[in-house]
Structure 1
Amino acid sequence: MMPEPLRILCVGDGSPGHEKQTLAMAEAFGRISSVELRWFRVPQGRAFAFYSRIIALTSPILPFFQNSVLKKLGWEEKGFSPHLIMAAGSHTHGILLLFRNYYKARTLICMTPDFWVQKQVDLVLSPFHDGKKQGSVLLHTLGPPCRRSHPSLRNNDQGLILVGGVDASSHIWDTKILIRQIEDLLERKSSMRWEMGSSPRTPEETEDALTLLADKYDSLSFTPFAKTPPGWVESAYAKSTEAWITGDSMSMVYEALTAGCRVGVLPVMWVKKSSKFQRSLDYLHDQGWVLYPGEEATGEPPLLDEATRAAEEAVKRWWGKN
């Protein structure tokens, strides 16, 4: 029988992208049962990353470390006995396993961990583009679990443009091509008003060009990443009917889909022609989830809610509730 309320401990690493996935899962469980939620955030930096890997390797065979490590890290809520412990990001895995052994709780990890970590947890949410074989522990998801938005705020004349940036290992960044893509979009959809945001990876040269573009078009406003307040992008998803996102920003593609936006992709040039990210985008395109430049949407966007699907599957496996 499923616990009521379900006590959840989330292990965070300070990364907004990682913690949004964990929070999305906590909210999804909260749609099934009442939830009591606590957070424990691990220290940041390379030194702790190495420490966390050592803990992950030794936690099954050195249980006497548990109390001393938790005390050293400042865990003060030992009376909060969780039924479920969740995390995302490799820095969190060692501490998650430590909590697992201490509390004998269920464990769930977002994103595919190292093999020896995977062998010790109850459920892994693995994006299908990682190419890992689905099994009793590993559950494929269409992208990361994402938070829902509030569709009542949506404005049919409002659009959103999200710009990624440099990652030399995966793609070639070209500001001039990007500006042409955005100009074409603005000309085709001149009746809409557009908000545009950048990311921590966006080069200064690109942000300068986006600023000039916003000065040129009355229908476009641009907020550089450094000036966006917390929750800016979630608010923008909620009120936008369309979101056009550069292809390197895969997590935002899935966030916008889950928020109920009709999503378009502004292509980038991949370093590898067989890029797993492009395969994912092509799959989404073939299934009608996303548009490419020049295409128009027909009908309502398909509903995507992988967090709820994964939570329902976990509850069914662990507590037998449909």
Structure 2
Amino acid sequence: MIPDPLRILCVGDGSPGHEKQTLAMAEAFGRISSVELRWLRVPQGRAFDFYSRMAALTFPVFPFFRNAVLKKTGWEDKDFSPHLIMAAGSHTHGSLLVLAKYYKARTLICMTPDFLVQRQVDLVLSPLHDGKKAGPGLLHTLGPPCRRPAPSLRNNDQGLILVGGVDASSHIWDTKILIRQMEDLLERKTIMRWQVGSSPRTPAETEEALSLLAEKYDRLSFTPFAKAAPGWVESAYARSAEAWITGDSMSMVYEALTAGCRVGVLPVRWVKINSKFQRSLDYLHEKGWVLYPGEEAAGEIPRLDEATRAAEEAVKRWWKKD
């Protein structure tokens, strides 16, 4: 039977994207059982990363390393004995393993870790596009676990466009092509009003072009990432019937699906011909989850909720809840 309350310790690395995944899982467990939640954020730097992994490998032979890691993290709440420790991001893995052995707790990691870490945790949530084999300790998910938005009145005339940006290792960014795609969208969907948001990766020239586009179309407003209030994108998901997202922003595609939006993808050119991200998008497209430019949704798209599905599967595996 699942503990009540379920004590969860989330290990964070300061990355908003990573910590949103961990928080999504904590909230999903909270929909199954009452939860007591604590956060621990690990120090930055490769030295601590290496040191914490060594402490995990030598536990309990050299307790000095273990105790040093616990001290370095600043973890003071020793009386909070978690049933479950969760994390996302490779920088958290060493600390998670040390804490799990210290407390004899269950462990869950979002995103596929390296092989050595994977062998030591109870459950890995591995995006399907990573191509890893499912098994007792690895559960496939459609993208990362995402938070459910707060209930809101959705406006059928409201649309959202989210723009990614430069990442030379994965794709070729082209502002002119993006603007052309957006103009085509605006000309096809003449009755909709659009909010546009950028990201930390969006180049200055792209943001300038988006500002000019907003001047050209009075039913389009642009909020640069630097000026967006906390929670802006989550509120926009909740209000929007439709969201179009550049193909490089995979996490936002899954966030919008989880929020219940109809989702379209504005394609980018990938560096690798057989990009795992494009394979993931093509899988979603084949299943009817996302649209490509020029397409219209044939009917209602079921809401994605991978965090809840993963939490229910973990409970079934560990605590045999009916």
TM norm structure 1 = 0.97
**Cα distance between partner residues in 1 of 2:195 and 2:60:** 50
**Cα distance between partner residues in 2 of 1:222 and 1:317:** 46
Which shows bigger deviation, 244-253 or 227-236?
Answer: 227-236
1:208 aligns with 2:208: yes
Contact 1:158–1:194 under 8 Å retained in 2: yes
What is the match of residue 11 of structure 2? 11
Letter in 2 for 1:91: H
- After TM superposition, the structure 1 = structure 2 runs for residues 1-322 of structure 1, keeping only pairs within 5 Å, are 1-59=1-59, 61-322=61-322
**Cα distance between partner residues in 1 of 2:224 and 2:267:** 21
Letter in 2 for 1:44: Q
- After superposition, the Cα gap between the structure-2 partners of 1:263 and 1:29, relative to the gap in structure 1 and judged at 3 Å, is same
How far off is 1:45 after superposition? Answer: 3.0
Task: Give a deviation string over 1:13-69, Cα, whole Å, max 9, x none.
Answer: 000000000000000000000000000001123333333443344346534432332
Task: Give a deviation string over 1:97-123, Cα, whole Å, max 9, x none.
Answer: 111011000000000111111111100
**Cα distance between partner residues in 1 of 2:241 and 2:150:** 12
Which shows bigger deviation, 16-25 or 70-79?
Answer: 70-79
Letter in 2 for 1:270: W
Letter in 2 for 1:164: G
Contact 1:25–1:311 under 8 Å retained in 2: yes
In percent, how many aligned pairs have the same letter?
A: 84
Contact 2:11–2:92 under 8 Å retained in 1: yes
How far off is 1:298 after superposition? Answer: 2.2
Contact 1:52–1:91 under 8 Å retained in 2: no
Task: Give a deviation string over 1:98-151, Cα, whole Å, max 9, x none.
Answer: 110110000000001111111111000000100111111011101000001134
Contact 1:214–1:221 under 8 Å retained in 2: yes
Letter in 2 for 1:136: P
**Cα distance between partner residues in 1 of 2:76 and 2:201:** 36
Query: Any idea what SS the aligned residue of 1:32 has?
Result: coil
- Structure 1 runs (4+) greater than 6 angstroms displaced: none
Query: Any idea what SS the aligned residue of 1:126 has?
Result: strand
- After superposition, the Cα gap between the structure-2 partners of 1:55 and 1:90, relative to the gap in structure 1 and judged at 3 Å, is farther
Task: Give a deviation string over 1:162-220, Cα, whole Å, max 9, x none.
Answer: 00011111111100000000011111111111110111111111111011001111111
**Cα distance between partner residues in 1 of 2:115 and 2:56:** 11
Contact 2:12–2:42 under 8 Å retained in 1: yes
**Cα distance between partner residues in 1 of 2:56 and 2:190:** 54
Which shows bigger deviation, 66-75 or 208-217?
Answer: 66-75
**Cα distance between partner residues in 2 of 1:312 and 1:165:** 35
Task: Give a deviation string over 1:69-119, Cα, whole Å, max 9, x none.
Answer: 212321110011100000000000000011101100000000011111111
* Structure 2: 5+ residue stretches without partners: none
Letter in 1 for 2:79: G
Query: Any idea what SS the aligned residue of 1:316 has?
Result: helix
Contact 2:43–2:72 under 8 Å retained in 1: no
Give the RMSD, CA atoms, in angstroms.
1.3
Letter in 1 for 2:117: V
Contact 2:55–2:66 under 8 Å retained in 1: no
How far off is 1:303 after superposition? Answer: 1.8
**Cα distance between partner residues in 2 of 1:253 and 1:61:** 45
Contact 2:55–2:69 under 8 Å retained in 1: no
Letter in 2 for 1:161: I
Which shows bigger deviation, 98-107 or 45-54?
Answer: 45-54
Letter in 2 for 1:313: E
Task: Give a deviation string over 1:243-275, Cα, whole Å, max 9, x none.
Answer: 000000000000100010000000000111111
Query: Any idea what SS the aligned residue of 1:152 has?
Result: coil
Letter in 2 for 1:282: D
**Cα distance between partner residues in 2 of 1:157 and 1:61:** 63
Letter in 1 for 2:249: S
Residues matched between the structures, number = 322
Letter in 1 for 2:212: L
**Cα distance between partner residues in 2 of 1:151 and 1:158:** 16
**Cα distance between partner residues in 1 of 2:33 and 2:170:** 40
**Cα distance between partner residues in 1 of 2:56 and 2:303:** 37
Contact 1:57–1:116 under 8 Å retained in 2: no
